[in-house]
Amino acid sequence: MFITALDIGTNKIKALVAESKNNKLFLHKIFRAPSSGIRKGEIVDIDETKNSLKEIFEKIKEFDKSAVKNIFVNIGGANIKSHNSKGIIAVSRGDNEITQDDIDRVNKASQAIKLHSNREIIHTITKEFIIDGVEDIRDPLGMNGARLEVNNIIIDAFSPNIKNIISLIEMLGGNIGGLAYNPLVASRAVLTKIQKDLGAVLIDIGAGATSIGVYEEGKLLHAASFPVGAGHITNDLAIGLKCSVKLAELIKIFFGCATLKGISPKEKITLDDIVEKSGIDFSDVEKNFKAVISKREVVDIIESRLTEIFEFVNNELKLINKAGRLPGGAILCGGGAKLPLILDLAKEELGLPVEIGLLVRQLADKNIEIIDSDADGDVFNPEFAVAFGLLLLGEEHYSNVNKWSISDKFSIKSILRYFMP
């Protein structure tokens, strides 16, 4: 049986096709296509997004038509919100033994929060159960007590965006097996059990938005999104250097880094340097581009925007009293994590140990075997953390490792209500 992970981003769409056999994943294919019609992780032009997805779907179907029947897709963007919520019920059985029905009822009670009509709960994540005042119980099934409580994190998203994603995938002949929030699935791919136990923050720097997931004692403590990502760095460069966005992106990729430390004022970048590195001749179209620019000017622009992103992370950590207090450190992923020297800047701004989140360190533990030789390099690429996490989520779903519940509102088997990190 094939499982397909579909990571729909602001700049790129990535699809991973794997086969599930005997609780092991065999990665057969990785497909990529430029993304269009998406801004800050949300669909703003459905026709453009459809054309981008169509290109990916054609590649998947060419490999195997059945691979589009089990698609696990991400939900990103700054409009996703998280809330702490509590549910309390009386245990139903006369002998006070807690049943699955009791657990379902208490989780449903925790979802009784006021949401705008255009928002939908996508995840209910359990932090702890409480039985008759006894806290920090992970699984109350079969235990005894008169009163059952739960402390959950409720994550909700913009309903029209979810509906648009679902309708586009179904329109192209696909079937959604599950849908999940970016940092939650990325954490599955790149965080170790030790990091989650000690306390760590996963920082996913996408093109249009940055998302975080904070873990401690193996549980999710907090999740948040911010409408600034690596694409904003490109826009800043285009404005500051008075050049096209395309040229600014190439300057970021080939000459950018995250901090001014070690950058000499004498270092310069010319249009010829950019053409040589990228293989693209801009001489006829970049009439206003200065013949020579300072590399420090480029890096100063990049550092300013990255500092803003890390300030957002720190502010979120302060809300839960975890700023500088996560021994497992900060783990960076997403396309923005590929900037040289970003670890140095992140350490300075966050006051935490920092590393790049790489799936390659966990291939054996996660039972993933790479069949596609062209995909070997991608296990070293933090940009693929969400996609690999979606694959793992799909494998766990079909292996019945975790418990899932279905959203009734959209009448599809695609929205994960219970997401146990």
- pLDDT tens by residue, 301-314: 999 999 999 999 99
**Residues contacting 4, CB < 8 A, separation 6+:** 15, 16, 17, 18, 60, 67, 68, 70, 71, 72, 394
**Angle of helix 295-319 versus helix 245-255 axis, rounded to 10:** 80
Give residues with Cβ within 8 angstroms of 258, minimum separation 6.
299, 302, 303, 306, 339, 340, 341, 342, 344, 345, 346
> For position 370, what pLDDT does the model report?
81
CA triple 88-405-56, angle to 5 deg: 145
- Confidence class of residue 379 from pLDDT cuts 50, 70 and 90? low
Alpha-carbon separation of residue 416 from 17, 73, 92, 121, 384 (angstroms): 21, 11, 26, 9, 21
81-155: CATH number: 3.30.1490.110
Q: Can you give the C-alpha Rg of the chain in angstroms?
A: 22
Strands (E), 288-349: 292-294, 329-333
Reading the block at residue 238, the tokens are 């285009």
- pLDDT tens by residue, 219-251: 999 999 999 999 999 999 999 998 889 999 999
62-117 confidence digits (pLDDT tens): 999 999 999 999 998 888 999 999 999 999 999 999 999 999 999 999 999 999 99
The number of beta carbons lying within 10 Å of the beta carbon of residue 349 is: 19
Instruction: Give dist(CA 55, CA 13) in Å, integer.
Output: 10
Q: Averaged over 383-400, what is the pLDDT?
A: 86
**Claim: this prediction has a pTM higher than 0.85:** yes
| Distance linking the first and last C-alpha atoms of the chain | 24
For residue 376, give every residue at least 6 positions away whose Cβ sits within 8 Å of its Cβ, in sequence order, or none.
370
Q: How confident is the model at residue 375 (pLDDT cuts 50, 70, 90)?
A: low
CB-based contacts of 73: which residues, under 8 Å, 6+ apart? 5, 6, 7, 8, 165, 169, 176, 178, 179, 390
- Burial tier of 373 (Cβ tally within 10 Å: 0-12, 13-18, 19+): exposed
Q: Is residue 288 over pLDDT 70?
A: no
Nearest Cα to 228, choosing from 243, 211, 241? 211
pLDDT value of position 322: 97
The dihedral sign for the CA sequence 180, 182, 183, 187: positive
Helix (H), strand (E) at residue 5: strand 2-8
DSSP β-ladder status, 329-333 and 354-356: parallel
Q: pLDDT tens digits for 37-52? A: 998 888 999 999 999 9
d(CA 421, CA 415) in angstroms, rounded, equals 16
Q: Is the dihedral of CA 60, 62, 65, 67 positive or negative?
A: negative
Residue range 12-39: mean pLDDT, rounded: 91
Contacts of 266 (CB under 8 A, 6+ apart): none
> DSSP labels for 366-390?
TTEEE--GGGGGGGG-GGGHHHHHH
pLDDT surpasses 50 at 401:
no
User: Which pLDDT belongs to residue 358?
Assistant: 81
Where in the chain is CATH 3.30.1490.110?
Answer: 81-155
Relative to beta strand 134-137, strand 268-270 is: unpaired
